[in-house]
Each structure stands twice: as C-alpha cells, then as structure tokens.
Chain A
C-alpha cells in the first residue's frame, strides 16, 4: 500500500463508507398528488451521458467470473 495521500477533495461526510445500502420491508409509493411532479423529476434526472461513460470506463477494470 502506498503512503501517498489522495488529493481528491471529498466532503467530510463521504468518509466511513462502510455500509451503503440496506434492505428493508418498507416500500414507498408515490402519492397521486405528487405523481406528475415525480415523473417529471424522474425524466429530468436521467443519468448524464458523461457519468454513464465514466461508469462504463470504471467497469472495465472489474473481471467477472
């Protein structure tokens, strides 16, 4: 392991990423009053092509068995 330190300026809150997602029996649903806005937001928030490209690049180092 290198003793070099990262120069990536992450926020403090990004530390300690141990457990990142957890299953729960709670499944939410979008209320009728909010569904139109939710769908608008959903379509507006589609993954950016730059980020998807980055994901595809990163994925190349993972070998699958």
Chain B
C-alpha cells in the first residue's frame, strides 16, 4: 500500500495536462515530408525517429504497412505528435487432430488479425495527459475502435497483434491486451526485448470439414 501511495503521489507530480487536444489522422504521403522531419521520440529512439523518412514510404509502396500520422492542431500550429503503422497478419497455430485411423495429424491454422507494426509518440507528448488519460491511451483507443469498425464493415479481423517494447508492456496490459509468449514458439529465436501481445475482438471457432 505504501508503494502504491508513493507511486500515485509521484505520478500526480510527474504528469502535465494539456487543455487543448485537437487530433487529426492522416495517411502518410509525400506532401507531409516537412512535418515528419521534425518528429522526435527521443535520443534512444533512432529507428523510430527515422522510420517516417524512408521506411514508412517503402513499406506503403511494398504493401508491408500503412502509416497513419497523428497531428495535433492548436492555434494554427500543426504538429506530428505520434504515428502508427498497420498491416494485416495472421496469428498461426497448429491444431492436432486425429484422422479416421486414429493417427495424429498436425494442421496449421491462422487467426486473421491486424498488426500494429509501429507505434511511437513524440517526446513532447510522452507524459502529457488530456483530461483523464495519457495521449498514447487516446490514440490506442482510437486505433482499437477503427480496427473494430473495419472488422464489421470491410475486413475479417479477429484480433489485434503487436510486438510491444519493454516500456509499452504495462500500457498494453492495462488496455486489455494479453501476453501470448508462453503459448508461442518463435520462428526466429531473437532476444530483441519485444513481447508478443494480442487483443481478441471476435471469437475464434474451429470449423472442421
């Protein structure tokens, strides 16, 4: 309890609240090059700072992911405060079934999903709150809502999948994401500090034919 009280007090001292938050979402295109040059997530976020300049365009052209810029427009100033990149994917799993002769047979299935491939917030907005929650939470909730709408209107989607950074883990856990590491086996064994997480948005039913 003492620790919780300390953290609560510490956090109330740490976060600042902005009065105005007027977010606009735009799909990345070349006309925004001047704005995206200014995106800065921090000194240790080199790959995230540079992603928008080249990779994001290459990914879009190659069908590897579409990047959405989050602008905040206040007092006629338009600033890129965050971005996220979405792509379709599939969470693969192996189902073991018995054939008519009683032999085990492994079949590979996939759960249709959307992957949040990149998600970064600029340094200035990292600890900022609007009303009762951080800017990052506002953006994530918007992304979840958009994907849910897609799954109802335009594309079959049952889950949102992502590789969380170390600092993002608790953020996602607090937003109903779940860890799937214990059930999974990586195709490439790389200790990159990223953690696979998912949020299911529709049930998955096995249809054996």
Q: Which one of B22, B136, B188, B199 lies within 8 Å of A20 (CB-CB)? A: B136
How many A-B pairs with Cβ below 8 Å? 251
Report the bound CA distance from A22 to B55 in whole Å: 13
B146 within 8 A of partner (CB):
yes
Q: Which chain B residues numbered 81 to 122 have a C-beta less than 8 Å away from chain A?
A: 84-85, 89, 91-96, 106, 108, 111, 116-121
Cα–Cα distance between A10 and B181 once the two chains are bound (Å):
25
**Is B80 on the interface with A (CB-CB < 8 A)?**
no
Q: Are A26 and B94 in contact (CB under 8 A)?
A: no
Q: How far is the CB of B51 from chain A (nearest CB, A)?
A: 9
B interface SS class: mixed
- In which size bucket is the chain A interface? 35 or more
CA distance A52 to B143 in the complex (A): 11
B200–A24 touching, CB < 8 Å: no
List 10 additional contacts besides A10-B11, A11-B7, A20-B136; criterion CB under 8 Å: A21-B168, A22-B47, A22-B118, A22-B194, A23-B65, A30-B185, A39-B93, A39-B206, A46-B200, A63-B23
A-B contact pairs, 19 of them (CB 8 A): A2-B17, A3-B16, A6-B15, A9-B8, A10-B11, A10-B134, A17-B136, A19-B45, A20-B121, A20-B164, A21-B119, A21-B162, A22-B163, A23-B163, A29-B91, A29-B92, A30-B92, A45-B178, A62-B70
